[in-house]
């Protein structure tokens, strides 16, 4: 009897193993998928099985990336009904229905195929789509059911977001409640049907973010999407379907678009194989102007303005008191009431996210002139626009009542890079000598230092004396400013990696139109850096000023910026204490050169970890001088009404009153020093008793335990006296009163143990009270060859 039991058990185990091995990417009606077993797509991209999210012990049936070491779930079947143990089983019955059950044979989740099946098969595709199809060679692409029609929080390439009007199927994504619970959260996204469909993210039942209507090329609220080397976008709008879809141009790229409940954002990620991590490619809301209806009816949001809301021309705030208190919810009303019996004119607005569409009417057969006449004949019509700017301005959309949720794109008139390249190349071929002469004359600008309106010897006119690059060369070096070459976002625009024809790598900083940096700031940066030569300052190689383009070319720093090391869990261990101390001292020497030893005395005004670049030996170089100012005389500095820089590093007297001096740079250095020591950011730092890193460090200091501030990765370092001295110096640099802060020459002496250190006084905490991050706010839109939507508004006369 015992022998028979042993044989039976052995056969049972063997059969189970054979069953697991037999399961590849598909499953037929005679098979089941139990907890602990998985299906893997044919190419090994995705895996289907049971999992427990986060810290939860509940079990869910889901799909995740097979080759991504960080388990990233893209679809969940039983989102709202978890299985409490390991008894889950998935089967496909003879009608083609999927049935997920638990130990007591009760069904947890099931599907219904679109039609009856003869010989159904369940298959996991390399796209991440789980499909039920007939097990027949001639019907491999005919799906009776597919998971792509029932998305969770993730939109994958080739998934449709939107409607099948033939069946009434509405494909929407919805966020997880949290990392432990995949049940639907507050955020949901889908294509909302109206006269003019668009993609809308809702928070609960309220509109949260809106894409703007499709204008034939892209969504009017996302003009950067169309020109993109990584993604292709499609919006289908016909009698059978209305949907949005994106596809990847390269099969080597892994990407996903996720609704995130925790951050209330929709985020697009790309997997970087070299770093073995997900990188955030883009997210919405990008800024305040993406918040739905921020400025109220007939209000216009412009992120480059302060405040961001203003009334459209011909309108005024409905409540001046509310408007002045930055409550724009009541919106704007007309200066003069429209009279239908009088003749009216129109005002044209370009570069806008088109208004919301519930009160709109679309006619795809009209041209723009017919659209205008149609609006004039309807007393309730207040604006019109082309519904398709791709096909020579065909189609008509009319708006009635208030215009809601409009934003302005300051880059709307930026000339397309591709067109500029063609023009430059053609002109150069025909009259190269004239072009070179023209550019040479144009770029030999005269120098006059910006010193608060005072003429000084330091501000006398001098030549830039820099190599000039043409736009065609820079465009070729950066692959036409490809997003793949983007290194990051500088204070005034994106920065790209480039490779010149001789193989030399460069960093290319482009000035975006909405950056707030005009010609004066640009010339300022060019002239300043051209005259600065120090091993701890980034070297400027040249510039390009062509048509509307303003571009700086720097030496390339292969290790990127300091913040990409010290705030990254995987890279921070590459900076031991000796390297960090070398960086601290190098930045200090660079600042001393700017303040005291350079030909021009410079206040940087935007010193922070992202503006400290690292060469191949991890030596620091200060970069980004677009906000720098020349000063003369004593160290009392000057006053400005235009406060620029980054609030997390900004001295309190500068943030409050516009007073800047060498001591405001010293304050920024103190923040940077404390961040390097602790590995923590000053802004966004959370602690129950302190709102930022300064308060955290100050509490440890006053309680006699300053070494607890040190990054745990540095605990094995034996040079504790040097660390303690750096903490002491950092707190001296961030003292509330600028008179109490040391100069950079004193800082260097103190860092090297060549000077006695006084007891630090109370630090400045003003940055805690200031909302936002950068000043002036800047859009993350990348330079791109795009067409923008225009709207024509009826004007009262």
* Residue 60 · residue 51 · CB < 8 Å: yes
Cα–Cα distance between 85 and 705 in angstroms, integer? 47
CA distances from 67 to 47, 48, 246, 427 (A): 9, 13, 22, 50
Residue 555 forms beta bridges with which residues? 506
Cα of 510 vs its chain's centroid, Å: 17
Cα–Cα distance, 775 to 260 (Å, whole number):
27
Among 352, 342, 344, CA closest to 312: 352
| Surface-to-core class of residue 167, CB atoms within 10 Å of its CB (0-12 exposed, 13-18 middle, 19+ buried) | exposed
Instruction: List helix spans (H) across 168-219.
Output: none
Residues 475 and 468: beta-carbon distance below 8 Å:
no
**Cβ(242)–Cβ(165) under 8 Å?**
yes
For residues 599 and 43, give the distance between their C-alpha atoms in angstroms, rounded to a whole number: 62
Nearest one of 130, 114, 120, 125 to 96, comparing CA atoms: 120
DSSP class of residue 638 equals E
| Spatial distance between the Cα atoms of 661 and 631, rounded to a whole number of angstroms | 8
The continuous run of DSSP H or E covering 794 comes out as strand 790-795
CA 246 to chain centre: 18
Using CA atoms, how far residue 521 sits from 106, 333, 490, 525, 670, in Å, is 70, 37, 14, 6, 26
Indicate the burial class of 108 (C-beta count within 10 angstroms; 0-12, 13-18, 19 or more).
Answer: buried
Tell me whether strands 60-65 and 161-164 are parallel, antiparallel or unpaired: unpaired
Q: How many Å apart are CA 523 and CA 763, to the nearest integer?
A: 36
Q: How many CA atoms lie within 13 A of 539 on its CB side?
A: 11
The encoded tokens of residue 108 equal 């947890």
- Selecting among 411, 606, 624, 781, the annotated active-site residue is 606
Match 């040097």 to its residue by tokens: 722
Query: Would you call 287 a catalytic residue per the annotation?
Result: no
Tokens 């480039």, residue located: 498
Q: How far apart are the first and last CA of the chain?
A: 103
Residues 282, 288, 292, 293: is their CA dihedral positive or negative?
Answer: negative
CB burial of 755-781 (b: ≥16 within 10 Å; e: otherwise) equals eebeebeebbbebeebeeeebbbbbeb
Picking from 134, 135, 158, the residue whose alpha carbon sits closest to that of residue 148 is: 158
Sheet with 505-510, side-by-side order of all strands: 486-489, 494-499, 505-510, 549-555, 540-546
Sign (positive or negative) of CA dihedral 583, 586, 592, 594: negative
Distance CA 519, CA 545 (A): 10
**Tokens matching residue 491:** 């204070």
Residues 6+ apart with CB under 8 A from 788: 220, 223, 350, 351, 352, 409, 412
If residue 16 lies in a helix (H) or strand (E), which one and from where to where? helix 2-22
Strand partners of residue 620: 614
List C-alpha distances in Å: 690 to 214, 609, 695, 728, 765.
46, 21, 5, 19, 10
> Among 38, 76, 39, which residue's Cα sits nearest to residue 54?
76
Pairwise CA distance, residues 717 & 614, whole Å: 22
Give me the active site residues, please.
606
């Amino acid at each position: 009897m015992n022998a028979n039991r042993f044989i039976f058990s052995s056969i049972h185990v063997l059969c189970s193993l054979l069953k697991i091995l037999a399961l590849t990417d598909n499953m037929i009606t005679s098979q089941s998928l139990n907890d602990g077993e998985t299906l893997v797509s044919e190419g090994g991209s995705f895996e289907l099985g049971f999992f427990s999210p986060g810290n939860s012990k509940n079990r869910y049936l889901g799909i995740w990336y097979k080759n991504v070491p960080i388990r990233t779930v893209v679809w969940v079947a039983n989102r709202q009904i978890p299985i409490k143990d390991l008894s889950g089983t998935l089967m496909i019955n003879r009608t083609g229905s999927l049935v997920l059950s638990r130990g007591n044979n009760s069904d947890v989740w099931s599907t219904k195929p679109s039609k009856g099946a003869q010989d159904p098969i369940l298959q996991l595709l390399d796209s991440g789509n789980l499909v039920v199809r007939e097990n027949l060679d001639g019907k491999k692409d005919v799906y009776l059911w597919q998971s792509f029609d029932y998305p969770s929080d993730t939109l994958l390439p080739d998934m449709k977001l939107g409607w099948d009007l033939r069946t009434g199927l509405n494909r929407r994504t919805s966020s997880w409640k949290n990392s432990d619970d995949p049940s639907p959260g507050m955020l949901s996204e889908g294509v909302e049907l109206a006269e003019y469909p668009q993609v809308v993210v809702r928070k609960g039942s309220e509109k949260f973010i809106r894409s703007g209507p499709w204008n034939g090329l892209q969504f009017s609220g996302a003009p950067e999407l169309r020109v993109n080397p990584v993604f292709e976008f499609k919006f289908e709008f016909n009698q059978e379907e209305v949907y949005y879809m994106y596809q990847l141009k390269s099969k080597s790229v892994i990407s996903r678009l996720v609704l995130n409940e925790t951050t209330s954002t929709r985020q697009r990620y790309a997997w970087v194989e070299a770093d073995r991590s997900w990188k955030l490619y883009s997210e919405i809301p990008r800024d305040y102007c993406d918040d739905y209806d921020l400025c109220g009816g007939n209000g216009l949001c412009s992120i480059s303005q302060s405040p961001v809301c203003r009334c459209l021309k011909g309108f005024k705030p409905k409540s001046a008191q509310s408007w002045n208190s930055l409550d724009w919810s009541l919106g704007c009303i007309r200066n003069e009431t429209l009279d239908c019996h009088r003749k009216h004119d129109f005002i044209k607005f370009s570069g806008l996210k088109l208004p919301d569409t519930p009160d709109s009417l679309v006619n795809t057969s009209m041209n723009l002139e017919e659209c205008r006449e149609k609006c004039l004949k309807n007393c309730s019509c207040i604006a019109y626009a082309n519904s398709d700017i791709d096909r020579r301005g065909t189609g008509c959309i009319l708006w009635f009542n208030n215009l809601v949720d409009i934003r302005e794109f300051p880059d709307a008139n930026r000339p397309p890079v591709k067109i500029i390249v063609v023009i430059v190349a053609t002109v150069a071929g025909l009259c190269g000598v004239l072009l070179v002469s023209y550019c040479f004359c144009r770029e030999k600008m005269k120098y006059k230092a910006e010193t608060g309106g005072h003429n000084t010897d330091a501000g006398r006119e001098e030549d830039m004396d820099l190599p000039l690059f043409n736009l065609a060369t820079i465009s070729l070096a950066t692959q036409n400013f490809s997003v793949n070459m983007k290194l990051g976002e500088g204070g005034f625009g994106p920065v790209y990696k480039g490779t010149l024809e001789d193989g030399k790598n460069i960093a290319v900083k482009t000035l975006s139109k909405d950056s707030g940096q005009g010609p004066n700031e640009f010339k300022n940066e060019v002239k300043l850096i051209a005259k600065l030569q120090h091993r701890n300052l980034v070297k400027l190689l040249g510039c390009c000023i062509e048509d509307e383009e303003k571009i700086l070319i720097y030496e390339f720093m292969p290790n990127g910026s300091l913040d990409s090391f010290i705030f990254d869990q995987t890279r921070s261990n590459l900076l031991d204490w000796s390297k960090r101390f070398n960086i601290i001292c190098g930045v200090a020497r660079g600042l001393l050169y700017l303040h005291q030893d350079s030909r021009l005395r410079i206040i940087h005004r935007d010193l922070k970890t992202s503006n400290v670049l690292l060469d191949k030996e991890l030596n620091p170089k200060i970069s980004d001088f677009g906000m720098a100012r020349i000063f003369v005389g004593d160290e009392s500095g000057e006053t400005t009404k235009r406060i620029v820089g980054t609030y997390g590093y900004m001295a309190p007297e500068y943030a409050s009153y516009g007073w800047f001096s060498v001591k405001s740079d010293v304050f920024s250095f103190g923040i940077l020093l404390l961040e390097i020591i602790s590995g923590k950011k000053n802004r966004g730092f959370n602690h129950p008793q302190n709102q930022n890193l300064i308060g955290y460090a100050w509490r440890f200091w006053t309680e006699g335990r300053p070494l607890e501030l040190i990054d745990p990765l540095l605990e094995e370092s034996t040079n504790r006296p040097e660390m303690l001295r750096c903490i002491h110096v950092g707190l001296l640099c961030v003292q509330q009163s600028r008179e109490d802060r040391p100069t950079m020459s004193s800082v260097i002496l103190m860092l090297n143990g060549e000077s006695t250190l006084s007891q630090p006084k109370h630090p400045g905490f003003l940055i805690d009270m200031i909302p936002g991050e950068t000043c002036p706010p800047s859009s993350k839109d990348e330079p791109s060859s795009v067409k923008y939507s225009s709207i024509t508004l009826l004007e009262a006369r």
